[in-house]
Amino acid sequence: MKKGSYNLLKFGLSLLIAVLISITGFKTSLQANENTYKSLKLFTDVLEELEKNYVDDVNSDELIHNAIKGMVGNLDPHSSFMPPEAFDELQNDTKGEFSGIGIVITMKDGILTVVSPIEGTPAYKAGVKASDIIIRIDDKSTKDMALWEAVNMMRGPRYKTVLITVIRKGEATPLKFSLKRDLIPMESVRSVMLEPGYGYLRITNFRMSTFDDMKKHLGRLEAENNGLKGLIMDLRDNPGGLLDQAVKISDLFLSKGNIVSIKGRQKINTQVFKAYPGNEDRKYPVVVLINGGSASASEIVAGALQDHSRALILGTTSFGKGSVQTVRPLKDGFGIKYTIARYYTPNGRSIQAKGIEPDIEVEYEILAKKDKKTSAFDRMIKEKDLKNSLKPEDTDKSEKIKKQPERHTRLLDTDQLHRDAQVKRALDILISYGIFSKLNGS
């Protein structure tokens, strides 16, 4: 950098500080601003030194961008400085369609970590799990790799293969997954009737259309079998998404009180979201399933329903992302994402790095499928097997043909759900609640 350019930069920095002082009116913090100026002076000194004497020619813009990246990235795992290509990609997170492998990732202590796989995607089908640490993408190490760089490497042309290498707790050696990219589904809600009157509703993420999709699915479930007796809301491995969608979905089951509050350093970033009476009277019991992959907006829903005693939370402790980010565009296509607030449940709990603890802890397990052919009870002679036994009375001919519940386009495997230990426990709880309610005359 030429001396004239350096002096111009120095003048520009001095002018910037002067403007900041005049805007904020912090006359009493002159010493702090002087310290800031000294640090900026140190920065320009280092920049000038590298430009003059580094062994190779250096790109000043690249050095400055890397410095900004380090400044923002060291604040917390969710803050980042984004070049134009990364800022454009960010727009795909809540709308549109893109091709990738289907995982949500974060930087945890500087390490690229899987928050959760997105259900139905190549990563999910291959067995990538929450908390997996990604150490390589294709032949490139993820050490010191920016989050947006990792995202860009894993997204790409449909059907093209990307290889990721992960370290998993309990595994002695790294695991390799060869994943063929595919279109990542934007669909975020699915549902099925597990038993007459007992519905299962899965929310995979919180996108722009999630609330509307949720109402449609609830409407279908509530219209079957003279209404719902109980609902299982599955938020497992749901990495979150849009705050307003989480608030609206919580409001479907609450009629008053706070849903969530966000508190930041600036008054403009402090807000309370409340529940309001709705047209539908949903009094049926709800069990919400969570696990370590349930984060952000998922934790808002689970925390709100738990604090209002509107739902029983079952599973394992959630991820613990209790912070709110904003995205600001900068000039020349750059952008910055940074944390502006923490959020709190209705009872004032901050779940940052703590998570939502379930009311009933149940580990995930796929129960063994019962083999009726080898069951001793099934081999016993029963009344219906006796010669000339009376046939059962035909009280309801409609029961001969069981009506199959309407399923979503992406089918839910009801047999698999019944063998899911967490789903099965939730269903047992709902059915037991109905039985005891009748015994108590309520």
> Active-site residue among 129, 248, 321, 337?
321
Using an 8 Å Cβ cutoff, are 194 and 169 in contact? no
Residue 393 has a pLDDT of: 56
Which pLDDT score, from 0 to 100, does residue 106 have?
87
Catalytic, 307? Answer yes
Q: Which pLDDT value is given to residue 176?
A: 97
- pLDDT value, residue 32: 65
Question: What is the pLDDT, as a whole number, of residue 386?
Answer: 54
Catalytic residue from among 80, 116, 188, 296: 296
pLDDT > 70 in the chain, percent: 80
What CATH number has the domain spanning 189-361? 3.90.226.10
Annotated catalytic residue, options 248, 307, 323, 337:
307
Return the closest-CA partner of residue 351 out of 281, 403, 388, 301.
301
Burial, 155: exposed, middle or buried (Cβ in 10 Å; 0-12, 13-18, 19+)? middle
3-state secondary structure (DSSP) of residue 222? helix
- The pLDDT tens digits along the chain (442 residues) read 555 555 555 555 555 545 444 544 445 456 668 889 899 999 999 999 999 999 999 999 999 999 999 999 899 988 999 988 888 777 655 555 678 999 989 888 889 999 888 888 999 999 999 899 999 999 999 998 988 899 989 998 999 999 999 999 999 999 999 999 999 876 789 999 999 999 999 998 899 999 999 999 999 999 997 889 999 999 999 999 899 999 999 999 999 999 999 999 999 999 999 999 988 889 999 999 999 999 999 999 999 999 999 999 999 999 999 999 988 999 999 999 999 999 999 999 998 989 999 999 999 998 887 654 444 444 444 555 555 546 565 544 433 333 333 333 344 788 889 999 999 999 999 999 988 887 866 5
Domain 97-183 has CATH 2.30.42.10: yes
Q: Return the pLDDT at 192.
A: 94
> pTM of the entire structure?
0.76
pLDDT 10s digits, 227-254: 899 999 999 999 998 999 999 999 999 9
Residues of the chain with CATH 2.30.42.10: 97-183
Residues paired with 189 in a beta bridge? 203
Active site residue 296: yes
**pLDDT given for residue 13 in this prediction:** 53
3-state secondary structure of 212: helix
pLDDT for res 368 = 81
Catalytic residue flag (residue 321): yes
Q: What pLDDT is recorded for position 4? A: 52
Which of 222, 358, 226, 225 minimizes the C-alpha distance to 287? 358
Residue 9: what pLDDT? 53
- Judge contact between 248 and 268, C-beta under 8 A: no
Rounded Cα distance between 2 and 23, Å, is 31
207 Cβ contact partners less than 8 Å away, ≥ 6 residues apart: 94, 95, 186, 188, 241, 242, 245
2 burial class (0-12, 13-18, 19+ CB within 10 angstroms)? Answer: exposed
pLDDT at residue 88 in the model:
75
pLDDT tens for 62-71 read: 999 999 999 9
Neighbours of 117 (CB within 10 A): 25
d(CA 316, CA 129): 15
Residue 63 has which token pair?
């050095």
Give the residue range(s) of CATH 3.90.226.10 domains in the chain: 189-361
Per-residue pLDDT, 85: 81
